[in-house]
Amino acid sequence: MYLLLTLQYDGYDYHGWVKQKNAKTIQGELEKAFFRVSHQQLWMLGASKTDQQVHAWDQKVLVKLPFIPNDVGFFIKTVSASLPLDINIKDYEIRDENFGVRNVLEKEYVYTINDGAVDIFNCRYELKYPRSLDVNKLNEIAQVFIGTHDFFNFSGVKKGENINTIRTINKIWIERNDHHKILIHVQAKAFIRYQIRMMVQNILACYEGKISLADIKTQLANLPGSKKTSFCAKPYGLCLAKITY
């Protein structure tokens, strides 16, 4: 039996999704919870490899069960109850063995910026900015990333790594929500390591006049003389908001 989980987590205290030998990770905690309930080590695969301190509202995880529980719903609730307080299984679906958890149509990430008063109870989930920001101006700058580009200069990929860095940004928009926080929405089929955080910090750097739109375009085009960006926003402002199949 294959189960597709919808997982939510506060990633601030974790070293990302992917299980690591000597670090606390989301996958590691999920595997422990399933083992406590089933007494078996289960195979699982996440749709998105969120980085250290990155959160998720809608992570998808495919889990292979070598048995069929009498009550699947109760089984999942029991597993969820044995997870740390900052991880929750929101929902589940039964899938067949041919389902590809990483064959997504689109992923949406949201980056949160607080340009107002200090919000001590949400400071783990947002970047604090010292001055009021003009959302319209931010939106104008952000559109430079729309379309298909080689994001090597906006990634954690190093020269020599055999990783395709061409990605297509379907949509990016910036809004101020009802709590007066700024939300940067980015939609694409796939992203590269650190890509969104680098995009966000470059938008802010351009807004501040530290770089120009032409500088960003040069880096996106990988023109001779262009270098990898040195701007990268803090990870804890980023959240995996939605995965669409």
Q: pLDDT for 151-185, tens place per residue?
A: 999 999 988 888 999 999 999 999 999 999 999 99
CB 47 within 8 A of CB 243: yes
pLDDT at 160: 81
Q: 67 with 115, same domain?
A: no
pLDDT at 222: 85
Q: 88 with 185, same domain?
A: no
Q: Is residue 136 part of a domain?
A: yes
Q: 34 with 84, same domain?
A: yes
CB 242 within 8 A of CB 108: yes
Cα 196 to chain centroid distance, Å, stands at: 8
What average pLDDT does range 4-31 have in this prediction? 97
Domain finish residue from 37, 67, 95: 95
CA-CA distances (angstroms) from residue 229 to 53, 55, 112, 178, 203? Answer: 21, 24, 21, 32, 12
Q: Is residue 157 part of a domain?
A: yes
Q: What is the CATH number of the domain that holds 214?
A: 3.30.70.660
Question: Cα–Cα distance between 12 and 159 in angstroms, integer?
Answer: 29
Q: Is residue 100 part of a domain?
A: no
Q: 50 with 129, same domain?
A: no
Binding-site positions for substrate read: 109
What average pLDDT does range 4-10 have in this prediction? 98
Q: 121 with 183, same domain?
A: yes
Q: Is residue 240 part of a domain?
A: yes
pLDDT at 40: 94
Domain finish residue from 72, 95, 118: 95
Binding-site positions read: 109
CB 197 within 8 A of CB 151: no
Q: 123 with 225, same domain?
A: yes
Q: 90 with 153, same domain?
A: no
Q: 59 with 123, same domain?
A: no
Q: Which domain holds residue 63?
A: 2-95
Beta bridge partners of 108: 187, 242
Q: Is residue 101 part of a domain?
A: no
Q: 140 with 230, same domain?
A: yes
Catalytic residue among 10, 13, 51, 71: 51
pLDDT single digits (tens) 190-245: 999 999 999 999 999 999 999 999 999 999 998 777 789 999 999 999 999 999 99
CB 106 within 8 A of CB 187: yes
Residues above pLDDT 90, as percent of the chain: 95
Domain finish residue from 39, 64, 95: 95
Domains of the chain: total: 2
51 is catalytic: yes
Task: State the chain's mean pLDDT as an integer.
Answer: 96
Q: Is residue 128 part of a domain?
A: yes
Q: Is residue 83 part of a domain?
A: yes
Q: Which of these, 212, 214, 174, lies nearest to 196 by C-alpha position?
A: 174
What average pLDDT does range 15-23 have in this prediction? 95
Which residues, at least 6 apart from 58, have a Cβ–Cβ distance to it below 8 Å? 6, 8, 240, 241, 242, 243
Which residues, at least 6 apart from 1, have a Cβ–Cβ distance to it below 8 Å? 64, 65, 67, 68, 94
At 13, the pLDDT band (50, 70, 90 cuts) reads: very high
What average pLDDT does range 1-18 have in this prediction? 98
Cα 178 to chain centroid distance, Å, stands at: 23
pLDDT at 132: 97
Q: Which of these, 20, 18, 106, 11, lies nearest to 56 by C-alpha position?
A: 11
pLDDT at 243: 98
Q: What is the CATH number of the domain that holds 15?
A: 3.30.70.580
Q: 189 with 212, same domain?
A: yes
Question: Cα–Cα distance between 124 and 235 in angstroms, integer?
Answer: 10
Q: 7 with 55, same domain?
A: yes
Q: 73 with 134, same domain?
A: no
pLDDT single digits (tens) 115-125: 999 999 999 99
